[in-house]
Amino acid sequence: MNQVQTHSLLTDFDIELFKAGKHFRLYEKLGAHLTEVNGVKGVYFAVWAPSARSVSVVGDFNFWVQGEHQLNVRWDSSGIWEGFIPGVDKGTTYKYKIQSNNGGIITEKADPFALYCEHPPHTASVIWDLDYKWKDTKWMETRKDKNGLDKPYSVYEVHLGSWKRNNEGKFLTYIELADELVSYVKETGFTHVEFMPVMEYPYDPSWGYQLVGYFAPTSRFGKPQDFMLLVDKLHQAGIGVILDWVPSHFPDDAHGLGFFDGSNLYEHPDRRKGYHPDWKSLVFNYGRNEVRSFLISNAIFWLKNYHVDGLRVDAVASMLYLDYSRKDGEWEPNIFGGRENLDTISFLKDFNEAVYLEFPDVQTIAEESTSFPMVSRPTFIGGLGFGMKWMMGWMHDTLQYFQKESVYRRFHQNDLTFSMTYAFTENFMLPLSHDEVVYGKKSILGRMTGDEWQKFANLRLLYGYMFTHPGTKLLFMGSEFGQSTEWNFEGSLDWHLIQFGYHDGIKKCITDLNALYKTYPALFEKQFSVDGFEWINYSDHENAVLSYVRKGNNEKDNLIIVCNFTPVVRGNYRIGLPSKGKLTEIFNSDKVEYGGSGVTNSKAIKIDKQSWNYRDYSAEVVLPPLGVSVFKIS
């Protein structure tokens, strides 16, 4: 006898929106919801499975027996099965047992809308709620001032499982991270943290990029409310939170979204579009309206229910191109004969429009590695609508340059100057991310050349150049203190290194660079505008020196930056300047406290009425070895 009562949270309008790909609150209707019907407490279940012959809820409340609690299919051809089960309570584990019309295949699936999941390797969903008393009102009311494109935006990228482990080598919990991580990020001065995917995933070596529980923070570190506490504490400390979001692909684990109801429900049925050869995973069917509703609802869910301040969208390039990682014959052109995935383009525009319509004070950030145009331009002028895009070209060229011995750098100045030819075509974020410290690439420190002193000097120079280059910043955990080895997701960062002078010096340098970035408007007010940057001299390749001006809204805020990419001290180095007055050095990466040699401009420097670098004024400064100096005119 079926013990499921007829009940629905869905209206006809909900179904219309769902079918049209415009239902962006789907998590309020589908999934498992604690509720009360006719005075009886229980759970309302709803799941999309249009190719199912029957759908039963199985769990520890019915000893996982199929058929005892069978849901009812809606009459409106939506493919949604639903019903109310009395007596089921919070904390109950469950799955959907689905018998398909397609040959009678029976699958046992986790709930795509589950709010909480069992700890892997267990795979069941858990009945849960989102009750939590937030204490971040001040942040939420003022975060537009923290997230704006004309504000300092310095991101600390974190993998929660390996940032730090406890004395037994086990994960820190969300609650423990709410103390240790929050205080550390505040100390080092980053404006935001970015978490590599926190949504539930079955396989640790995927780093979280193979998701099965899109609406559930992973149970590895605690309960959903514990993750809310972590976000809340970050906000109370004045730190924004960005989540990695993965709408590009998903794994084919038996309990996941793949072949959900015995058909290609979430994935594209054409293998050329529905399977990712690099990651051996499934690709969403972006042309199916119900799938679009699922994905955009998921984005809105994290922004609304977890107070998230931004979404970094993973692997956008793999979504945009039909021939991505595919050989000739393994892909089919679009209707215009091109390689662009038109369904993806339409989906990404819808996603960004939906996010910014409801949350104009957040940012969406694209990890997009190609020259696809107008990624971070508004949709109404033909762009994809993202707030920012990763500047992968800058990352590649810059790291390539820093791996060259200083004696050869004069032949490769273009590796550094080339970025300015396209720096303002998008709203670029400069990333030194987790992808740059794995798979034999070495750590960021490990890529620097020279002896030990020169390696650390080069690293401080790299960071100084990065923080004074136009664009927002992203740095992967460990890089801020000069982690020596590659990142290992199975262990903790090498925190013991900070006791050594050079590593502590890198941390102090990053802390001061974050303070510099946040203090001086010239470094952020026009970070995406050509008006915010001007070369002084980019052609002194013989000395491997670059000099440039960063500009704010007020001319008096302008900063002068000079980078010396060789270990040679250059005294009496003359640079052209835009006005008279005095130069005061406000940052020098060669400070002794950073582990440098102490070659600084300790006194104010008089600006001469002597033309230089095509300017009417100039001054002589001392350039530290492998160092960057930042000056203010007064």
Residue of 393, 376, 384, 379 whose CA lies nearest to 427:
376
Question: What whole-number percentage of the chain has pLDDT above 70?
Answer: 100
**408 lies in some domain:** no
pLDDT at position 533 is 98
Question: What whole-number percentage of the chain has pLDDT above 90?
Answer: 98
Question: Any idea how long the chain is?
Answer: 634
**555 lies in some domain:** yes
**552 lies in some domain:** yes
Please check whether residue 624 is in contact with residue 588, taking contact to mean a CB–CB distance below 8 angstroms: yes
- pLDDT (average), residues 34-62: 96
For 549-563, what is the HEC assignment? EECCCCHHHCEEEEE
Pull the structure tokens for residue 330: 């393994």
- pLDDT (average), residues 417-439: 97
- pLDDT (average), residues 318-325: 96
Please check whether residue 560 is in contact with residue 610, taking contact to mean a CB–CB distance below 8 angstroms: no
Burial of 38 (0-12, 13-18, 19+ CB in 10 A): exposed
Average per-residue pLDDT in the chain? 96
Pull the structure tokens for residue 334: 């679009």
pLDDT digits (tens, 9 = 90+) for 18-46: 999 999 999 999 999 999 999 999 999 99
- pLDDT (average), residues 496-521: 97
pLDDT at position 238 is 98
pLDDT at position 104 is 81
Question: Last residue of some domain: 60, 79, 109?
Answer: 109
**304 lies in some domain:** no
- Catalytic (active-site) positions: 314, 367
Say if pTM beats, i.e. exceeds, 0.85.
Answer: yes
**25 lies in some domain:** yes
- Domain containing 540 equals 530-633
pLDDT at position 103 is 79
Question: Last residue of some domain: 109, 135, 157?
Answer: 109
Helix (H) / strand (E) containing 343: helix 342-358
pLDDT digits (tens, 9 = 90+) for 165-223: 999 999 999 999 999 999 999 999 999 999 999 999 999 999 999 999 999 999 999 99
- CATH number of the domain that residue 551 is part of: 2.60.40.1180
Number of domains in the chain: 2
Q: Residue 1's pLDDT band (boundaries 50, 70, 90)?
A: very low
**73 lies in some domain:** yes
Radius of gyration of the chain measured on its C-alpha atoms: 27
Question: What is Dmax (Cα atoms) for the chain?
Answer: 96
Residue 588 bridge partners (DSSP): 629
Pull the structure tokens for residue 238: 């004045």
- CATH number of the domain that residue 104 is part of: 2.60.40.10
pLDDT digits (tens, 9 = 90+) for 543-598: 999 999 999 999 999 999 999 999 999 999 999 999 999 999 999 999 999 999 99
**442 lies in some domain:** no
Question: Last residue of some domain: 109, 140, 156?
Answer: 109
Please check whether residue 60 is in contact with residue 88, taking contact to mean a CB–CB distance below 8 angstroms: no
pLDDT at position 102 is 83
User: Which stretches does DSSP call E strand in 408-521?
Assistant: 428-432, 472-476
Q: CA–CA distance from 13 to each of 37, 211, 294, 304 (Å)?
A: 22, 30, 16, 22
Tell me the helix, strand and coil percentages in the chain, rounded to 5.
Answer: 30, 25, 45
pLDDT digits (tens, 9 = 90+) for 89-106: 999 999 999 999 987 889
**584 lies in some domain:** yes
Residue of 282, 261, 161 whose CA lies nearest to 212:
282
Residue of 472, 449, 470, 476 whose CA lies nearest to 461:
449
pLDDT digits (tens, 9 = 90+) for 274-311: 999 999 999 999 999 999 999 999 999 999 999 999 99
pLDDT at position 423 is 97
Q: Residue 2's pLDDT band (boundaries 50, 70, 90)?
A: low
